[in-house]
Amino acid sequence: MSGKRYTEEFKIAAVKQVAERGHPASEVAERLGVSMHSLYTWMKRYGVPEEERKAVDSQAEELRRLKAELKRVTEERDILKKAAVYFAKTSG
């Protein structure tokens, strides 16, 4: 993997060449020097209306935030369980 980063504008323009102008994806990918996989990934993401894409991004961000919070709360619960067992043994 090259690790090369492309701007959002570049990706949208590449998708438009396929979606709106009807150029074959393989031709666009070769001409732009990107992999077919990257182009299809961009088509999946940028081939939807911007409002819908923003809604999906917002949902994905909320999901990431909730997963992080769940992990933190689960760790806190586990620590409290261990503390409860420890204090039950030392006070009994």
pLDDT tens for each residue of 6-34: 999 999 999 999 989 999 999 999 999 99
pLDDT at site 91: 77
Instruction: Name the token pair of 4.
Output: 């090369």
pTM confidence score: 0.58
Taking the C-alpha atoms of residue 24 and residue 32, their distance in angstroms, rounded to an integer, is: 12
Closest C-alpha among 35, 29, 36, 4 to residue 14: 29
Instruction: Name the token pair of 26.
Output: 């393989």
pLDDT at site 37: 95
Tens digits of residue pLDDT in 56-88 = 999 999 999 999 999 999 999 999 999 999 999
Pick the CATH number of 8-91 from 1.10.3470, 1.10.10, 3.30.160, 1.20.120: 1.10.10
Taking the C-alpha atoms of residue 78 and residue 82, their distance in angstroms, rounded to an integer, is: 6
Taking the C-alpha atoms of residue 18 and residue 29, their distance in angstroms, rounded to an integer, is: 10
Taking the C-alpha atoms of residue 68 and residue 75, their distance in angstroms, rounded to an integer, is: 11
Q: Where are the domains of the chain?
A: 8-91
Helix axes 8-19, 25-32, angle to 10 degrees: 150
Tens digits of residue pLDDT in 37-49 = 999 999 998 888 8
